[in-house]
Amino acid sequence: MPENDPYIIKLEGIEKVYYTDEIETYALSGVHLNIKKGEFVVISGPSGCGKSTLLSIAGLLDLPTVGNYRFRTHDTANLKGKERASIRNNEIGFIFQSFNLIGNLTVFENVELPLIYRRIKKEKRKEMTLAALERVQMTHRRNHLPSQLSGGQQQRVAVARAIVGGPAVMFADEPTGNLDTQNGNRVMEILKELNNDGATLVMVTHEKAYESYADRVVKMLDGKVMEIVDQKSKRGVA
């Protein structure tokens, strides 16, 4: 990969087929998508069009059935499980619609978890964890269990967990989907701030309102990318 390649994510001809009960579901059929460093990309489209699937593949949570995927300097097809895990741990942050906090760990422990897998010293871990919690303004609830928090608070903890290790790219799958407008906005503010600080952000959302935060909007239908709206240049033109 040339040094000056501006793309941090290069998806080429990605297909994903699910086999269930002998029926094949084509969740993705030939997706091409490149994303630059520092970009804020929103993926939108009707339910079932393959947004989550695409995000999972981009976030190295899943493997494509067919296609090439280059993430930063890594040709992901040739990575071993351990290497994928290490990339997820060091370079990626993932935020889910359903928060996905571990129920029997405290807020602090949930956020700290990626750093433990990274084998960072305890002192340092505490410092980083508290910094991430501070960022989402959840320090005061650090000893609570997820079940003792509201949905918005849980999602902020999930964001803290995603950013605690300073990832190069953040993936968020409908991070505001389970939240009311007020809480949703708050999470969006945090994400935008992170993007402004230089993090690449790829987000799936149904909310038209949030599309405006993005540099580009990728519109999907039936497992294909139908249209990519470049809002930055639009803004530039306007």
Ligand X SMILES: Nc1ncnc2c1ncn2[C@@H]1O[C@H](COP(=O)(O)OP(=O)(O)OP(=O)(O)O)[C@@H](O)[C@H]1O
Please check whether residue 69 is in contact with residue 76, taking contact to mean a CB–CB distance below 8 angstroms: yes
Q: What is the dihedral of CA 232, 192, 126, 88, to 10 degrees?
A: -50
Closer to other proteins at the Cβ: 98 or 196?
A: 98
Instruction: Give the span between the Cα atoms of 12 and 34, in whole angstroms.
Output: 8
**Residue whose C-alpha is closest to residue 58's, from 80, 25, 91, 24:** 91
> Could you say whether residue 97 binds other proteins (CB under 8 A)?
yes
> Around Cβ 99, how many Cβ atoms within 10 Å?
22
d(CA 140, CA 136): 11
In the bound complex, what is the minimum distance in angstroms from residue 173's beta carbon to ligand X?
7
Position 52 contacts Mg ion (CB under 5 A): yes
Q: How many Cβ atoms sit within 10 Å of the Cβ of residue 238?
A: 6
- Which of ligand X, Mg ion, other proteins, none is residue 101 near (CB under 5 to 8 Å by kind)? other proteins
Site for ligand X in 2-61 (CB under 6 A): 18, 20, 25, 27, 47-53
Q: Is 210 in the site for other proteins (CB under 8 A)?
A: no
Q: CB nearer to ligand X: give 20 or 182.
A: 20
139 is a site residue for other proteins (CB under 8 A): no
Q: Which of 28, 30, 54, 29 is nearest to 41 (CA)?
A: 54
Query: Which residues are near other proteins by CB under 8 A?
Result: 52-53, 56-57, 59, 61-63, 81-82, 85-90, 92-94, 96-104, 113-114, 117-118, 146-147, 151, 154, 161-162, 165
Query: Which residues are near Mg ion by CB under 5 A?
Result: 52
Query: Which residues are near ligand X by CB under 6 A?
Result: 18, 20, 25, 27, 47-53
